[in-house]
Every structure is written in structure tokens, then in C-alpha cells.
Chain A
């Protein structure tokens, strides 16, 4: 069965530190990839997505993610985090064969001012 793994369950960083959240998936075919963010008290928002083309995609608020096909990974990065980045981050995979989405369990990021 397809699965999405987010190995970092809880990350605590100081402001200005660099961020990288891991996402690995198990599916051998073509996939569309997403990162979602849920800020405290708010609903889920799309952070960025990858469908095809340049494997380095840029999203909102300075986030980017790199698709490495050989590693089945789609890690999220940000060079310098802010306190306002404190949120829950979800990786999601959509196999190109259909409309089904598979979500990781989420990574809780806490940024300390």
C-alpha cells in the first residue's frame, strides 16, 4: 500500500534557523506532491505543490521543496524561519493514476522567538 512518511514529528527551532522537514513516499509511479500547512487555530492551506518540471519548487512565505525521484523524497525547506512559521506541516502524495491523496502524519514546528 502507498504510504507517506514524515520522520520529524516535532521540531523546535529558534528564529533565523534553517528548516528542513523530511517527506518520503512509497509509490513507484508518477506522483504529484504537496505540502500543506495548518497554522494554530486555522484550517489547512496549500504551501506548495509539484506536478512536473523543475524539481525545486517555491511556495508561499519563502518555503521551497525539492523532489528527488531516486530517493522518493519531497523535503520542505526554508532558509530562515520566523516565529509566525509555527504550525503543523503535512506532506501529501497523489499518484498520477487517480485522484486519491495520501497524507503524512504531519510535523509540528515550533519556532522560538
Chain B
């Protein structure tokens, strides 16, 4: 079955380190998204992509970057991890503008 997978499920890192979270989907969806989930804030959009070589900033993009070299993958990179980036990160994909959103299972990141 087609799916969207995130790795790792859990990650502990130190401040200042570069961290990359993987997101891979097998639906061949053009639209992919990264969210962070924080209690009291709900889900907030970090970056999104509407296709290969297309990337866009969301509402909380500072300190993060993404790249889209193929349809299946949208890795999220924290250039220099900060404690404020401790969160749960969700990747999602969608077939079209009005298509159903599919979420990954999340990556719990702790920055110490």
C-alpha cells in the first residue's frame, strides 16, 4: 500500500548541530508539507512544496530548510538546532490542491 513514512521516529540532539528529518511518500503526490506540533499552538506550517524543485516558506520557517529533488522525498533540515525547536514534526502529502491530506506518523525531536 502507498504510504508516507518519516524517520527517525525519535531523535535527540545537541544545540548547534545540523539535523535532517526524512519524509518519503509513495503516492507520487506533488504537494508535500512539514508541520511542527506544539501544545498550545496546534500544528504550524514550516515549509511546503508543490513539486520538484519547488519549495516555499510557511509561518515558522526560520531555522529550517527543505529541498525537493524528486517527487517522493522532502527532507527537513535544521541548520543549527536550538532548544526552541524541540517539538514533534509531521510530514504530510496531498494529491492536489483539494486532495485529501495524508500525514506521516511524526518525528519527536529533542534538542538539549
Number of A-B contacts (CB under 8 A): 44
Which residues of B3-50 have CB atoms within 8 Å of chain A's CB atoms? 33, 35, 37, 39, 41-43, 45, 48
Given A43-B45, A98-B108; A108-B90 close (CB under 8 Å): no
Which residues of A28-44 have CB atoms within 8 Å of chain B's CB atoms? 32, 34, 36, 38, 40-41, 43-44
Q: Chain B contact residues (Cβ within 8 angstroms of A): what range?
A: 20 to 34
A88 CA to B102 CA in the complex, in Å?
11
B97: Cβ under 8 A from any A Cβ:
yes
A41 CA to B31 CA in the complex, in Å?
11
A24 CA to B37 CA in the complex, in Å?
21
Interface of A, helix, strand, loop or mixed by DSSP: strand
- Residues on the A chain within 8 Å of B39, using CB: 32, 51, 94
Given A101-B90, A103-B103; A49-B42 close (CB under 8 Å): yes
- Give A residues with C-beta under 8 Å from B: 32, 34, 36, 38, 40-41, 43-46, 49, 51, 88, 90, 94, 98-101, 103, 106, 108
- Give B residues with C-beta under 8 Å from A: 33, 35, 37, 39, 41-43, 45, 48, 58, 87-88, 90, 92, 97-98, 100-101, 103, 106, 108
Measured CB to CB, the closest approach of chain A to B69, in angstroms, equals: 23
CB <8 Å contact, B37 and A101: yes
- Residues on the B chain within 8 Å of A45, using CB: 42
| Nearest CB in chain B to that of A48: its residue | B42
If A34-B42, A43-B45, A46-B41 are given as contacts, then 13 extra A-B residue pairs at C-beta distance below 8 Å, sorted by A number, are A36-B42, A40-B97, A40-B98, A41-B98, A44-B45, A44-B101, A49-B42, A88-B101, A99-B87, A99-B88, A100-B88, A100-B106, A106-B100
Measured CB to CB, the closest approach of chain A to B55, in angstroms, equals: 15
- Residues on the B chain within 8 Å of A99, using CB: 37, 87-88, 108
| Nearest CB in chain B to that of A38: its residue | B101
- Residues on the A chain within 8 Å of B48, using CB: 43
- Residues on the A chain within 8 Å of B100, using CB: 88, 106, 108
Contact among A40, A46, A100, A106 for B43, CB-based, below 8 A: A46
A49 CA to B100 CA in the complex, in Å?
22
